[in-house]
Amino acid sequence: AQKVTQAQTEISVVEKEDVTLDCVYETRDTTYYLFWYKQPPSGELVFLIRRNSFDEQNEISGRYSWNFQKSTSSFNFTITASQVVDSAVYFCAHDRGSTLGRLYFGRGTQLTVWP
């Protein structure tokens, strides 16, 4: 069975600190996809990134960066110079890449950034 583990339930930081959210997944597939979603206090789910299993290049988007390491089955998310607006629940998800199209989500990490 697919499994996604976000071991950090809650993280609190002060503005401008860097913070890393961990995500570890389990899979027997060679082809798969990994995602991060953000859920701000307003409740909607916002897509952040999608990564396929054949692309281990790190990705950077502004203050956000993602580190994908197949050797450790991890897909960690780092926010540099955090801001109050980054406060949200962040979900990591895994997709087997089959025609079933199902995403399996981790339990989420609540990030609180204090001013």
Q: Can you read off the two tokens belonging to residue 83?
A: 């801001």
Kindly tell me which of 64 and 105 has the beta carbon lying closer to another protein. 105
Residues that bind another protein (CB under 8 A): 6, 9, 33, 35, 43-45, 47, 50, 52, 91, 95, 97, 99-108
Length of the chain equals 115
Kindly tell me which of 13 and 97 has the beta carbon lying closer to another protein. 97
Kindly tell me which of 16 and 107 has the beta carbon lying closer to another protein. 107
Closest CA to 67 of 49, 82, 85: 49
Decide the pairing of beta strands 64-69 and 24-26.
Answer: unpaired
